[in-house]
Amino acid sequence: MGNTRGFGGRGRRTLVSALGDRNNRREGLEGVVRVVELHQIQSIVRPTTPSEAWSLRTAQPEATRFLGGGIDLVLYTPGTVTTLIDLSGLGRQGVTADRDGVAIGAETTLSELLEASPIASYAGGILVEVLRHVASPLQRNVATVGGAAARAHPWSDVVLAMLVLDAEIEVFDGASRSVPVAEFFATQAKNVAPLITGIRLPKRPSTARGAFEKFGRTGSDVALLNCACVADAVDGGVRNVRIAVGGTPSLARRLPEAEAALEGEPLSTARAAEVASIAARVVDAREDRRASESYRRTLTEVGVRRCLARLAGEDA
C-alpha cells in the first residue's frame, strides 16, 4: 500500500511530527531493524471479492492489514499484524475511460496510471505532471493508487491531485459506495478504514486545465509543500476552481476562500496574486523539521500564484 513513504521505518512519525521529538523516541532502539515486526506475519491470504476481504479484515482488526503494493507494510507494519490480506485477487487493476469519466482500479500502480492513455490529456494532463514527481520510478512501479489513498501521507502528491480533480473514492465497508475525496479524508475511520476498491475521476470539459507545483529538497524528495489548481476556462472567466495545498505539513486540503476569490473571475495576474495571498493566509501551515510555518506560507503564495499563472497560459 501507499505511494510515497515513511521515515526509514520508524512508524507513526507522520501522525506525531508536530508534537516534537519526544513522541517519536524509541528508547535505546536507534536504528532498529524491522525484521522482528515483519517476521510476526504468519500468512498472506488472497480473497477474490471485496466482501471476503472486508470480512477477513474486520474479523481481526489488530491482526490484519490490507496488502496493496506493500511498501508501507514493509516500512510500518506494527508487531501485532499476523495476517496480510492481499488485494491483488480482487481484479481492481487498470484504467478505463467511460461516459462518466475515468475509472482507476485501486490496485493500479502509479506507473501504470502515469502511462494510461485516459489520463494523458485529462484536465490538461495534470495527473501526468503530478505522478512524474512522485518519488522515483522504482517506487511508482510498486505503489498502488489505492494504497496512496489509504496511506495518505501528509506530503502525498496523489491525494492533492485527487482533491483538485473532485475524485470519488470507491470503497467497500460492508457495501460498495462512493465517497467524495474531501469527505473521505475529512472523516475519521471508526474502527477499520474502509477497503478502497477504486478511484473515479468525473468527466471534464475540454476547457479544464490544471497546474501543479511541488517544493522539495531534491528531485525525488517528498514535498516540503505542494499545491495544485484546476479550473475550467470559459469565456471571460474561470469556473469550478479547485485550489489545494498539501504537506503543510498536514495532508492536502482545498482552500475554499481562495477558490471563491477566483470563481467566475478572469484569471489576470493581479487576481492570481490576490488569490495566492489569500491562500497563504488561510493555509494550515505549521512548522516541522523540514520547514518553518512562515516559509510554508511563502511557498503557498508562490506555488498558488505560479499554478494560476500556468493556468492562464503564462510561464512563471
Partner 1 sequence: MASVELTINSVRRTLDAAPGETLLEVLRREGYTGVKRGCGSGDCGACTVLLDGRAVNACLVLAAKANGKEILTIEGLASGDALHPIQEAFLDEGAVQCGYCTPGMILSAYDLLSRNPTPSEGEIRQAISGNLCRCTGYVKQVRAIQAAAERMRSARHE
Partner 2 sequence: MSERAREPFVVVGKSVRKVDGVGLVKGKPKFVADVDLSDVLHVRILGSPHAHARIVSIDTSAAERIPGVVAVLTHANTPATRHTTAGQGYPEPSPYDTRMFDTKVRFVGDRVAAVAAETEEAAEKALRALRVTYEELPAVLSIDEARAHGAPVIHDEGDSTGIYDAARNIVADVDIDVGDVGRGFAQSAVTVETTCETQYAQHTPIETHVVHSLLDSDDRLVLRTSTQVPFHARRIVAQTLGIPIQRIRVIKPRVGGGFGAKQEVLLEDIAGWVTLRTGRPAFVCLSRAEEFVAARTRHPMRVRVKLGANADGVLQAIEMEATSNTGAYGAHGLTVLANTGSKTLPLYNKAENAHFYGQAVYTNLPVPGAYRGYGATQGYFPLETAMDELAERLGLDPIELRRRNHIRVGEGSPIFEKLGEGREGVSQTVKSCELERCLAVGAERIGWREKRGTRRREGPWVHGVGMSIMMQGSGIPQIDMAAATIKMNEDGSFNLLVGATDIGTGSDTILAQIAAEVLGVPASRMIVTSSDTDLTPFDVGAYASSTTYVSGMAVERAAGKVREQILSVAAAMCKEPVENLRLLEEHVVGPAARVPLAEVCRRAMYSSEQFQIAATASCVPTESPPPFLASFAEVAVDVETGRVKVVRYVAVADCGVPINPLMAEGQIEGSIVNGLGYALTEEMLLSSTGRVRNPSLFDYKIPGALDVPALDVILVGSYEPTGPMGAKSVGEIGINGPMPTIANAIYDAVGVRLHETPFTPERVLAAIRREAAERCPLA
Residues of this chain that interact with partner 1 (CB under 8 A) are 5-6, 8-9, 33-34, 37-44, 67, 69-71, 73-75, 77, 84, 86, 88, 111, 132, 135-139, 141-142, 219-220
Contact 96, 102 (CB under 8 A): yes
Give every strand in the sheet of 253-254, ordered side by side. Answer: 208-215, 225-234, 237-246, 253-254
**173-192 footprint of partner 2 as x/- string (CB under 8 A):** --------------------
Q: Which is nearer to partner 1, 86 or 265 (CB)?
A: 86
Task: Closer to partner 2 by CB, 222 or 311: give it.
Answer: 222
CB of 226 to partner 1, least distance (A): 17
Which residue of 7, 23, 62, 264 would you call a contact of partner 2, by CB under 8 A? 7
Among 28, 43, 188, 313, binds partner 2 (CB under 8 A): 28
Contact status, residue 15 vs residue 7, Cβ threshold 8 Å: no
State the DSSP H helix or E strand holding residue 214, giving kind and residue range, or none if neither. strand 208-215
- Residue 271 Cα to chain centre, angstroms: 28
| 295 contact, one of partner 1, partner 2, none, CB 5-8 Å limit per kind | partner 2
Work out what residue 111 binds among partner 1, partner 2, none; the CB cut-off runs from 5 to 8 Å by kind. partner 1
The count of C-alpha atoms lying within 13 angstroms of the C-alpha of 217, restricted to the half-sphere facing its C-beta, is 5
Nearest to 211 by CA among 175, 238, 174, 192: 238
Question: Pairing relation of β-strands 83-86 and 64-67?
Answer: parallel
Q: Which of residues 15, 18, 32, 138 is near partner 2 by CB under 8 A?
A: 32
- By the 8 A CB rule, do 146 and 199 touch? yes
Nine-digit cell string for 244: 489545494
For residue 105, the cross-strand partners are 198
Residue 195 has which C-alpha cell?
477497503
Interface with partner 2 includes 29 (CB under 8 A)?
yes
Site for partner 2 in 135-164 (CB under 8 A): 136
Considering only 19, 27, 191, 270, the residue that binds partner 2 (CB under 8 A) is: 27
Per DSSP, helices labelled H in the chain are: 13-16, 35-38, 50-59, 71-76, 110-115, 117-120, 126-132, 137-140, 145-151, 157-164, 181-186, 256-262, 269-282, 293-311
Residue range at the interface with partner 2 (CB under 8 A); choices 56-64, 219-227, 234-242, 264-272 = 219-227
Per-residue binding letters, 275-294, with partner 2 (x by CB under 8 A): --------------xxxx--
CA 107, 148, 159, 303: dihedral to nearest 10 degrees?
-120
CB of 203 to partner 1, least distance (A): 30
Q: Which does 32 bind (CB under 5 to 8 A by kind): partner 2, partner 1, none?
A: partner 2
Q: Which residue number, 153 or 253, has a Cβ lying nearer to partner 1?
A: 153
Q: How many CB atoms lie within 10 A of CB 38?
A: 14
Cβ distance to partner 2 smaller for residue 62 or 314: 314
- Residue closer to partner 2 by CB (options 57, 290) is 290
Footprint of partner 2 on this chain (CB under 8 A)?
A: 5-10, 21, 25, 27-33, 35-36, 39, 136, 215, 217-222, 289-292, 295, 298-299, 302, 315-316
